[in-house]
Amino acid sequence: MAKLKPYFKTRPKARSGQPPPAAPAPASPQAQAAIAQPVAPQPPQDLGSRREQLAQRYAELQADLGGLVYEMAIRDSFRLDLVTRRAAELQAVEAELSAVERQLGLAPPPVVTACPSCAAPVQSGARFCGSCGSTVNAVAAPPGSG
């Protein structure tokens, strides 16, 4: 059986007498604010190229998240904080991609309903509430959206 390469790098163990390597610095407030900002209207030619960039970034992040979870599972070392951070980054890119596709007329606006348990907003096609986790009757996605 071939040995798998580690998907994510582990921190090297500290040698005796040496301090452990420093953790990477958290993202700056400006970088965090840039992720959360909505997409400004752009000319159609720029939107097309932006859509391609976002679609490629989305595919990369999705594959990375899957690989990360797989590596954690086979090593029996699951870090929910890391998975949550990566999933949030993926979600931000997906939101921006959806906004660009709506501007280009490629995607209909999202259909949002309320969760029957907690009244939190639930998007079409959702099977569980993102707020309370209860099962919701999946709202049928509009034709042509999937």
Model confidence pLDDT, tens digit, residues 74-83? 999 999 999 9
CA dist 115 and 112 (Å) reads 10
Alpha carbon separation from 49 to 42, 46, 64, 100 (Å, rounded): 11, 5, 23, 10
CB 99 within 8 A of CB 109: no
Asked if residue 6 has pLDDT above 90, the reply is: no
Q: What are phi and psi of 127, to 5 degrees?
A: -105, -20
Position 89 scores a pLDDT of 92
Return the bridge partners of 121, or none: 114
Asked if residue 60 has pLDDT above 90, the reply is: yes
pLDDT (average), residues 52-81: 93
Position 61 scores a pLDDT of 94
Per-residue confidence band for 44, with pLDDT thresholds at 50, 70 and 90: low
- What letter does residue 76 receive in the DSSP assignment? T
Per-residue confidence band for 131, with pLDDT thresholds at 50, 70 and 90: confident
CA dist 37 and 25 (Å) reads 22
Model confidence, pTM: 0.49
Q: Which two tokens stand for residue 56?
A: 């490629």
Position 130 scores a pLDDT of 75
The residues spanned by each domain of the chain are 42-107, 109-146
Q: What is the pLDDT of residues 93-110, one digit of tens each?
A: 998 998 898 888 887 777
Q: For the residues of 30-53, what is the DSSP string, one character each? A: HHHHHHHSPPPP--HHHHHHHHHH
Q: Which two tokens stand for residue 120?
A: 């939190």
Asked if residue 139 has pLDDT above 50, the reply is: no
